[in-house]
Amino acid sequence: MTSTDTAVSGEQGVGRLVLAGTPMGQPGDASPRLREALASADIVAAEDTRRARSLASSLDVEITGQLLSYYDQVEAARTPGLIEAIHSGSTVLLVTDAGMPSVSDPGYRLVVACAEADLPMTCLPGPSAVTTALALSAMPSERFCFDGFAPRKPGQRQDWLAELRTQPRTVVFFESPHRLAQTLADAAVVLGPDRRAAVCRELTKTYEEVRRGGLAELAEWAANGVRGEITVVIAGAPAVDDTVELTDVVARAQELAESGVRLKDASAQAAAGTPFSRRDVYQAVLEARSDNR
């Protein structure tokens, strides 16, 4: 048995869970270990069985084990059976449509169940949209955070973006092409129109594209419509100027509001890079207006 075989095969009497990163678009990115695992696993649990078959075919590999669907809606129901299979000595290979299982993809529930049952697990490293986008973004990468998918509901999205106002680390997240323009527009308001960002589209695929610029500029570009799988990278917050006075920030917000910017948006823009929150500035503007009546 080769060292690679050891990594994907369970010991006698006990099986193993194997998490495997799959190509995001180019089958050639598949590792030799993924090829061997697809061919030898007792069970291949796949987010989409059709895509798993297509990947195996493109790699000239035959899946000889049981091919089982494992997507969001069936995770809870199928996890106990997979745990029992591993207990019984089966090697279960978990793959998703692209990238690494359990990273904003099915798999977390099964990993937790294996950990709680003290069952062997290993991982076959592979492509990741998170690190690929980060590398191409031209943003600082020494420290970064990954936030999964941006919240869908406007209120929750605004609150999430507000948390990023003072986040010094580069932020990476996924977004639907249908919501990208609005998310970028919201980010421009909350984080400032000039905060640097990159939109990475169709990574590793034929029509790969990386757009870099300020949030307002990218929002305007995205308003024309964007297709494909999207990963967004936003630069961390600039150092906060602790010397700025609230009165100066309020004056800036009032100037923006007088130029036609909605007061809440003007307050958010003026607050960017200061120790004051949008709510602080908004309330102070209202109080100033009341005092001037």
pLDDT given for residue 91 in this prediction: 98
Helix axes of 263-271 and 278-291: crossing angle, nearest 10 degrees: 120
The region that residue 52 occupies, defined by phi over 0 for left and psi between -120 and 50 for alpha, beta otherwise, is: alpha
Residues with Cβ within 8 Å of residue 23, at least 6 apart in sequence: 29, 30, 55, 98, 126, 127, 204
| DSSP one-letter string for 13-67 | T--EEEEE-B-SS-GGG--HHHHHHHHH-SEEEES-HHHHHHHHHHTT----SEE
pLDDT given for residue 7 in this prediction: 42
pLDDT given for residue 2 in this prediction: 40
pLDDT given for residue 240 in this prediction: 67
Q: Which residues of the chain have pLDDT under 70?
A: 1-12, 240-241, 293
102-105, long-range: CB < 8 A, 24+ apart: 102/19, 103/128, 103/130, 103/146, 104/148, 104/149, 104/174, 105/47
How far is Cα 171 from Cα 274, in angstroms, rounded to an integer?
Answer: 19
pLDDT given for residue 1 in this prediction: 36
For the 3-127 domain, the top CATH level (class) is alpha beta
pLDDT given for residue 293 in this prediction: 67
pLDDT tens column, 154-184 = 999 999 999 998 899 999 999 999 999 999 9
pLDDT tens column, 228-237 = 999 999 999 8
Number of H helices, E strands in the chain: 12, 10
CATH annotation of 130-234: 3.30.950.10
